[in-house]
């Protein structure tokens, strides 16, 4: 898979240096992968979630949330956003309350 948006990882890693290793490992794994379906992702990342046509990965022992969009047909993974677990929960709580 081709990972697009890696500068977001670089910027996030500057603010959260402890994320650098786990995010680099994720990029390495994804670039070696050939995902064709959600099940392919679930085999490697059983805790991945699939809300709103995105994939949310738990990174670094559940310390970080990586939001991506996958285009299986083209073999591309677009990095949309990265958050700490707490930041993601806060953002997700706001999103849920705005849908009510």
Report pLDDT digits (tens) over 77-96: 999 999 998 888 787 765 55
* Count of structural domains, the chain: 1
pLDDT tens, residue by residue, 12-68: 999 999 999 999 999 999 999 999 999 999 999 999 999 988 999 999 998 999 999
- Confidence at residue 96, expressed as pLDDT on a 0 to 100 scale: 55
Tokens describing residue 14: 């500057």
Residues in the chain: 100
Which domain CATH number covers 47?
3.30.2310.20
- Give residues with Cβ within 8 angstroms of 24, minimum separation 6: 9
Answering whether pTM is above 0.85, one says yes
Distance CA 100, CA 7 (A): 34
Structural domain including 38 reads: 2-98
Contact between 69 and 54 (Cβ < 8 Å)? yes
Apex CA 78: angle with CA 90 and CA 25, to 5°?
80
Residue 94's pLDDT is 59
Above 60 in pLDDT, residue 100?
Answer: no
């Amino acid at each position: 898979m081709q990972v697009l948006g890696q500068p977001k990882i670089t910027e996030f890693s500057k603010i959260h240096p402890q994320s650098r290793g786990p995010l680099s490992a994720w990029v390495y794994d994804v670039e070696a992968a050939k995902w064709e379906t959600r099940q392919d992702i679930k085999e490697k990342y059983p805790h991945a979630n699939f809300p709103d046509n995105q994939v949310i990965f738990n990174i670094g022992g559940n310390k970080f949330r990586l939001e991506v969009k996958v285009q299986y047909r083209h073999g591309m993974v677009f990095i949309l956003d990265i958050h700490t677990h707490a930041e993601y929960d806060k953002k997700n709580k706001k999103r849920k309350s705005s849908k009510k």
